[in-house]
Amino acid sequence: MREETLELLKAHSNRSKARLSSMMSLPIEQSAHCAEIVDENGKTYLDFGGFGVFILGHKHPQVVAAVKSQIDIMPMSSRTLVSPNLASASKKLVDICPDPIQYAFFTNSGAESTELGLKLARANGCKHIIAVTGSYHGKSLGALSVTHRDEFRTPFAPLFDNVEFVERDNVVALKAAFAKHKDPVAFIAEPVQGEGGVYALSYEFLHTAKQLCEQSKGLFICDEIQSGLARTGSMWAIDKHNIVPDVMLVGKGLSGGVVPCAAVVATESAFAPLNKDFMLHSSTFGGSPIALAAAEATIDVLLKEQVAERVSKIGQNIVSKLKSIAAAHNNSASQQIIVRGEGLLIGIDVGTPARAGQLTLSLLHHNILTSHSLSNASTVRLTPCAFLADEQLTQLYTAFENAIDKI
């Protein structure tokens, strides 16, 4: 089955990806439940990867039940008649957002949310966009224009020419970038850069950006696609800074790990162009009833199960233990291993892409799945679900200790 699958992928899906999967001897996934994935041979893997999607794990029963029920009722919307699902899901989402965020627009993916966020900036008169080094906002053309990695950007140049990148946490550079413009300026950033290697932006940097946006009558766009919905130990990573964004991008975890779902939420003033003319932006599949059912059930579970609190506690324990193991391994003769973490968004920086590849393969050998970091190839990421058993954590620690001895 494996070779046949790889040949089909090579011939009809993507040759380079199929080749890499073959070189890494990646197994064929067969089924999943909570924190575990089973391959075609019956071997079980702990899913510490998933790129931040599975905060509730795989197939959370409440989310699955909601989606199954909605399929029996009406899986897709007519887009002509009024959708009660859209009304209830919009309220439920904005209710867990910082005040005064009031409006929601549902999309299919994080990149789509970024595109709409940038369109809102343009519709609100922001002719210039300031982004941050180390950022990742997606690979569609607009999202790529505010994503800071040359390897992704160069093949598609020229991108938007009104974007300037400032060094992460460099307040002086941030002020200088805003000072260049008399027109409204939009600022976009992830409070915690996931693909950038798990770097939390500083309180001073983010507050300065918010103040400068207000002074320029621009927009503060907060990308919570990966860091939001309890992933970092609070409902939103920006909550820890006591900042209310004008626009917030939501994704990944909103799916409940069952049906793709993302969104843009905004204050009334930021959303005003779409309130004036709803035809300015639309999506055939965005906000489908089954996706909204998944989103509503996900929010219910996040609140009922106090997932943010669970994430904060488990994340602190994991980061503390991994740092302890890394410290015992680090010495003057070896390249230092640095562990960074916010909740269950955890980065293991091993210094070089080659070492990161070795760590990934070694952990895979010990049945631990991880995520690579798209804007920082030296960092291996762990983004597990919030429902981990003690024995699964022990398996991670044992695997990590064995793995770093081999890099």
Q: Is the peptide bond before 260 cis (omega within 30 degrees of 0)?
A: no
| Chain mean pLDDT for the chain | 96
Contacts of 37 (CB under 8 A, 6+ apart): 29, 31, 44, 45, 47, 58, 369
Banded pLDDT at 333 (limits 50, 70, 90):
low
pLDDT at res. 334: 64
**Distance from C-alpha of 97 to C-alpha of 58, rounded to nearest angstrom:** 25
Give 323's strand partners: none
Structure confidence at residue 405 as a pLDDT band (50, 70, 90): confident
pLDDT digits (tens, 9 = 90+) for 27-74: 999 999 999 999 999 999 999 999 999 999 999 999 999 999 999 999
Q: Domain 61-304 maps to which CATH number in 3.40.640.10, 3.40.1440.60, 3.40.309.10, 2.60.40.1120?
A: 3.40.640.10
- Nearest CA to 187 out of 239, 252, 137, 241 is that of 137
pLDDT digit string (tens) for 205-257? Answer: 999 999 999 999 999 999 999 999 999 999 999 999 999 999 999 999 999 99
Q: How far apart are CA 386 and CA 351, in angstroms?
A: 28
193 bridge partner residues: 199
Which long-range contacts link 16-21 to residues 24+ away (Cβ below 8 Å)? none
**In this structure, what DSSP letter does residue 240 have?**
G
DSSP of 58-118, one letter per residue? Answer: BS-HHHHHHHHHHHHH-SS--SSS--HHHHHHHHHHHHTSPTTEEEEEEESSHHHHHHHHH
Sign of dihedral through CA atoms 170, 343, 373, 57?
negative
Whole-number pLDDT of residue 332: 52
Q: Looking at residue 407, what is its pLDDT? A: 83
The dihedral formed by the CA atoms of 104, 109, 115 and 120, expressed in degrees to the nearest 10: 0
Identify whether the C-beta of residue 67 lies closer than 8 Å to the C-beta of residue 60: no
Sequence-ordered list of residues with C-beta below 8 angstroms from that of 273, at least 6 positions apart, any chain:
120, 123, 124, 280
First to last CA, the chain: 32
Q: Is the peptide bond before 100 cis (omega within 30 degrees of 0)?
A: yes
Domain limits of the chain? 2-59+306-404, 61-304
How far is it, in rounded angstroms, from Cα 8 to Cα 339? 38
Taking only the tens place, the pLDDT of each residue in 255-298 is 999 999 999 999 999 999 999 999 999 999 999 999 999 999 99
User: Is CATH 3.20.20.80 the classification given to domain 2-59+306-404?
Assistant: no
Task: Name the CA radius of gyration of the chain, rounded.
Answer: 21
Tens-place pLDDT, residues 151-198: 999 999 999 999 999 999 999 999 999 999 999 999 999 999 999 999
3-state secondary structure 108-128: CCHHHHHHHHHHHHHHCCCCE
- 228 conformational bin, left if phi > 0, alpha if psi -120 to 50, beta if neither: beta
Q: Report whether pLDDT(110) > 80.
A: yes
- Per-residue pLDDT for 406 more than 90? no
What are the φ/ψ torsions at residue 129 (nearest 5 degrees)?
-125, 130
Flag whether pLDDT at 313 surpasses 60. Answer: yes
User: For residues 263 and 117, what is the distance between their CA atoms, to the nearest angstrom?
Assistant: 10
pLDDT value at residue 24: 87
The total of other beta-carbon atoms located within 10 Å of residue 84's CB is 11
Using the predicted structure, report yes or no on whether residue 76 has a pLDDT greater than 80: yes
Query: For the residues 374-389, what does the mean pLDDT come to?
Result: 96
Q: b vs e for 252-279, b when ≥16 Cβ sit within 10 Å of the residue's Cβ?
A: bbbbbbbbbbbbbbbbeebbebbeeeee
Q: What percent of the chain has pLDDT over 90?
A: 94
Phi, psi of 166 (to 5 degrees): -115, 150
Q: In the chain, pLDDT over 70 holds for what percent of residues?
A: 99
**pLDDT at site 335:** 79
